[in-house]
């Protein structure tokens, strides 16, 4: 059937098989992945199980086994519904590790470390703190079979009283659980910096990253080194002064790690892009950071091999058997799997992936395991093997282009994709777009056109636009199959996923354009992107909505407050009051706004000028607010103030407070409800009747 023969249905009202419930039915978001001999492990976040993180093992024979017992549907976690998730720095990451069949993980309910062996019930290996969840743990790293190095974040009353905030340290923890009865066995190895992360060990050499307020880890980190010894009781001890190997206030270093030859590899943005550098083994022992050299020839790649350390446990490179590195390379909003040989030449490999979340060395000589996805496939765990033929000419390392490759790549999907029962004709594949801003700069995004094989829109109309703003704001829109985008495009919406100035993936100079200008350039870029699509005749300029979560929610509220480009907006747990965020948020982000807005409280007038909460008279279009009741990052009081303000003004609005949710919705029923409420909201605002049967939002006003 030609497109002219398709029935005409108003944009937004297109019938779609991608129901909101499809987003969570059978879904399991895969995050970290690790190898343990021939076994491959990964973490799955399962919305249908209360959002808990299950650990999954795939054996050499190809069978999959859950570490924890099946979910029993209760709200209790510990002892029944184990949940491998840490609250370190609130965003977590690096909650578990495995070695020789022994799994160590942080349990969400009490934040203690547990050990699980051969399917037995997990046993605690850290003592119970005096304060509930007073010690939080991440990135357990084996020193040997008996000892771990971990990040410990202490919220114990005596610590916070002395420091004014939690303390982040590197500590040694015995694996056998003896510290439960004798807490003195846990020894502090590194203390003092405001933050520590990414420990790596080879022999008696320990390296790690650290940074101090007001810097964020993408502003500047320090790569440190120290030698360890053992006391008479076998407890690890620091036996020399710490040495600075790389980094500083204006250099961000990520993912330090050792090669098989003992060289230290780390990714640094000192050239303007996160690229890998190497410190030879002898220089590591001599603590001579000056001898570090770039791994890429000709000045490096114009692409990112690295990213922002929002969470622990991140991996962008891995060594394979011939000594080359397999890396995740980001160019123009898209990831590729690439290989760097000993001569510093880089080759982009022939894979379908456009998002790669993890790269970890596999058990075989030329293999890695990945967490990866593409525009037509959801993120999943993979085993990737590359032939050993590395003598071919490689691509231009500055551009990250593919060269003349004779190597072959084989992909093994480690866990089947959930059945979507969805033909590819329903999938809107995005294109990368760049557009001019109001001050002569250039911003970027991913544009998804409306796509539905069964209907077409009226010939005399353009589709409504949903502009999506990522969180962070130091983050990025990701190029992968995401049903939350397809939910809109299959119903006749166009979607623009904006990578405004300050987003990662476009180099440090682009990232730094947001410094001191949050609430200005990000908002301007969202407006410019929407208007560029309207001017090009791709969307209806009178029916454009903006939505975002967290920092993206702030950009959403600011765009509605200070601009008139959008006819509606949806704030998902969005920041409304910058001053409140600066004065009442968790440690990790407590000084974040110093760089994004200005030093607090000296720049109080700037905070007030950019905070939507002080300019609610500027909001005169319908607003939907979605908020978690237990959000520690953006407390629900901020959402309530915005809702009260638009209510007093008589602006149409709706508000849903999700009980028990934190910063971001994890429970299946809440994810579904939030998306359906937003569709109902746009239908009321833009004057169409959704094809879906939707429950109205209770107590909505003026809609």
Give the domains, in start order, of the chain with CATH numbers: 3-18+421-449+462-686 (3.40.50.1820), 297-417 (no CATH)
453: pLDDT confidence band, cut at 50, 70 and 90?
A: very high
* Mean predicted lDDT score pLDDT of the chain: 93
Question: Which pLDDT does position 369 carry in this prediction?
Answer: 98
User: In the predicted model, is pLDDT for residue 615 greater than 60?
Assistant: yes
Predicted TM-score (pTM) above 0.85: yes
Question: Which pLDDT does position 433 carry in this prediction?
Answer: 98
CA angle 275/201/363 to nearest 5° reads: 75
How many CB atoms neighbour CB 189 within 10 A?
20
Contact 303, 329 (CB under 8 A): yes
- Over the Cα atoms of the chain, what is R_g? 25
Q: Tell me the average pLDDT across 33-46.
A: 97
Question: Which pLDDT does position 391 carry in this prediction?
Answer: 37
Distance CA 676, CA 655 (A): 13
Contact 173, 113 (CB under 8 A): yes
Question: Which pLDDT does position 388 carry in this prediction?
Answer: 58
Question: Which pLDDT does position 394 carry in this prediction?
Answer: 38
User: In the predicted model, is pLDDT for residue 599 greater than 50?
Assistant: yes
- Reduced to 3 states, what is the DSSP secondary structure of residue 581? helix
Q: Tell me the average pLDDT across 599-610.
A: 97
User: In the predicted model, is pLDDT for residue 45 greater than 60?
Assistant: yes
List pLDDT tens digits, range 373-399: 999 999 999 999 998 554 333 344 334
Question: Which pLDDT does position 232 carry in this prediction?
Answer: 85
Residue 33 β-bridge partners: 42
292: pLDDT confidence band, cut at 50, 70 and 90?
A: very high
Distance CA 483, CA 551 (A): 22
Q: Tell me the average pLDDT across 520-545.
A: 98
Distance CA 410, CA 367 (A): 9
77: pLDDT confidence band, cut at 50, 70 and 90?
A: very low
Distance CA 367, CA 383 (A): 7
217: pLDDT confidence band, cut at 50, 70 and 90?
A: very high
406: pLDDT confidence band, cut at 50, 70 and 90?
A: low
| Cβ-proximal residues to 182 (8 Å cutoff; 6+ apart), any chain | none
Sign of the CA dihedral running 480, 484, 486, 492: negative
Q: Give 568: exposed, middle or buried? Use CB within 10 Å, 0-12, 13-18, 19+.
A: buried
Contact 363, 38 (CB under 8 A): yes
User: In the predicted model, is pLDDT for residue 76 greater than 80?
Assistant: no
List pLDDT tens digits, range 332-352: 999 999 999 999 999 999 999
Contact 553, 573 (CB under 8 A): yes
74: pLDDT confidence band, cut at 50, 70 and 90?
A: low
361: pLDDT confidence band, cut at 50, 70 and 90?
A: very high
Burial 59-89 (b: 16+ CB within 10 A, else e): eeeeeeeebbeebeeeeebeeebbbbbbbbb
User: In the predicted model, is pLDDT for residue 635 greater than 90?
Assistant: no
Q: What totals of helices (H) and strands (E) does the chain contain, helices first? A: 11, 37
Question: Which pLDDT does position 16 carry in this prediction?
Answer: 98
633: pLDDT confidence band, cut at 50, 70 and 90?
A: confident
User: In the predicted model, is pLDDT for residue 284 greater than 50?
Assistant: yes
Q: List strand residue ranges (DSSP E) for 484-634, in order.
A: 494-499, 544-549, 568-572, 623-628
| Cβ-proximal residues to 675 (8 Å cutoff; 6+ apart), any chain | 20, 23, 484, 487
- Number of residues written out for the chain: 703
Q: Which residue has the higher pLDDT, 388 or 701?
A: 701
DSSP string covering 371-388: EEEETTEEEEEEEEEE-S
To which residue do tokens 């006003």 refer? 701
Q: How far is CA 104 from CA 65, 91, 138, 139, 176, in A?
A: 16, 19, 10, 10, 11
Question: Which pLDDT does position 387 carry in this prediction?
Answer: 82
Structure tokens at 123: 């046993």
Q: Tell me the average pLDDT across 98-103.
A: 97
**In 3-state terms, the chain is what percent helix, strand and coil (to 5)?**
20, 35, 50
Least confident window among 111-115, 192-196, 254-258, 614-618 = 614-618
Question: Which pLDDT does position 321 carry in this prediction?
Answer: 87
CA angle 58/109/358 to nearest 5° reads: 40
């Amino acid at each position: 059937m030609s497109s002219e023969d398709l029935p005409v249905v108003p944009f937004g009202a297109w019938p779609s098989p991608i129901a909101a419930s499809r987003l969570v039915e059978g879904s399991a978001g895969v995050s970290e992945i690790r190898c343990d001999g021939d076994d491959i492990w990964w973490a799955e976040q399962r919305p249908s199980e209360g959002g808990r993180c299950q650990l999954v093992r795939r054996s050499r024979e190809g069978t999959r086994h859950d570490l924890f017992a099946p979910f029993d549907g209760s709200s209790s976690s510990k002892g029944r519904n184990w949940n491998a998730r840490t609250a370190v720095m609130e965003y977590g990451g690096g909650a578990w590790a495995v070695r020789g069949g022994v799994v160590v993980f942080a349990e969400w309910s009490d934040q203690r470390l547990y050990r699980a062996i051969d399917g037995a019930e997990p046993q605690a290996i850290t003592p119970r703190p005096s304060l509930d969840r007073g010690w939080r743990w991440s990135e357990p790293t084996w020193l040997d079979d008996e000892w771990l190095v971990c990040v410990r974040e202490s919220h114990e009353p005596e610590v916070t009283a002395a420091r004014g905030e939690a303390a982040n340290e590197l500590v040694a923890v015995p694996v056998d659980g003896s510290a439960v009865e004798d807490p003195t066995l846990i020894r502090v190895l590194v203390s003092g910096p405001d933050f520590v992360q990414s420990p790596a060990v080879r022999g008696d050499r320990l390296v790690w990253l650290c940074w101090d307020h007001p810097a964020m880890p993408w502003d500047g980190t320090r790569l440190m080194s120290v030698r360890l010894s053992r006391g008479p009781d076998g407890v690890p001890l620091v036996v020399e002064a710490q040495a600075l190997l790389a980094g500083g206030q204006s250099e961000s270093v990520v993912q330090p790690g050792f090669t098989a030859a003992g060289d230290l590899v780390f990714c640094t943005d000192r050239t303007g892009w996160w690229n890998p550098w190497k410190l030879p083994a002898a220089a590591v022992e001599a603590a001579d950071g000056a001898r570090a050299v770039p791994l890429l020839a000709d000045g490096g790649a114009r692409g990112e091999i690295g990213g922002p350390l929002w969470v622990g446990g991140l991996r962008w490179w891995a060594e394979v058997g011939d000594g080359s590195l397999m890396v995740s390379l980001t160019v123009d909003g898209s990831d590729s799997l690439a290989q760097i040989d000993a001569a510093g030449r880089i080759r982009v490999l022939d894979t379908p992936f456009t998002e790669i979340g993890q790269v970890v060395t596999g058990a075989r000589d030329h293999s890695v395991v990945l967490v990866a996805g593409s525009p037509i496939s959801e993120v999943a765990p993979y085993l990737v093997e590359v032939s050993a033929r590395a003598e071919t000419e490689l691509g231009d390392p500055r551009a990250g282009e593919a060269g003349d490759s004779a190597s072959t790549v084989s992909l093994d999907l480690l866990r089947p994709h959930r059945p979507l029962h969805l033909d590819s004709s329903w999938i809107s594949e995005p294109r990368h777009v760049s557009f001019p801003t109001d001050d002569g700069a250039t911003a970027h995004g991913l544009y998804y056109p409306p796509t539905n094989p069964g209907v077409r829109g009226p010939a005399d109309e353009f589709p409504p636009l949903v502009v999506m703003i990522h969180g962070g704001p130091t983050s990025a829109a990701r190029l992968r199959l995401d049903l939350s985008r397809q939910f809109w495009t299959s119903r006749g919406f166009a979607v623009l996923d904006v990578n405004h100035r300050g987003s990662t993936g476009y180099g440090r100079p682009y990232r730094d354009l947001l410094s001191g200008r949050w609430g200005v350039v990000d908002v301007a870029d969202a407006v410019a992107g929407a208007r560029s699509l309207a001017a090009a005749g791709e969307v209806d300029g009178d029916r454009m909505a903006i939505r975002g979560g967290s920092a993206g929610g702030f950009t959403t509220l600011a765009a509605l407050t200070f601009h008139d480009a959008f006819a509606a907006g949806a704030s998902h747990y969005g920041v409304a009051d910058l001053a409140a965020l600066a004065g009442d948020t968790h440690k990790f982000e407590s000084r974040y706004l110093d760089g994004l807005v200005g030093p607090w409280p000296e720049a109080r007038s700037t905070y007030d000028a950019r905070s939507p909460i002080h300019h609610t008279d500027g909001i005169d279009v319908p607003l939907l607010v979605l908020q978690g009741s237990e959000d520690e990052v953006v407390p629900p009081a901020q959402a309530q103030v915005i809702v009260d303000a638009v209510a007093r003004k008589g602006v149409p609005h709706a508000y849903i407070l999700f009980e028990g949710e934190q910063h971001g919705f994890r429970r299946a029923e809440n994810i579904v409800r939030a998306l359906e409420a937003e569709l109902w909201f746009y239908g009321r605002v833009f004057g169409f009747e959704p094809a879906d049967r939707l429950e109205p939002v209770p107590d909505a006003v003026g809609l």
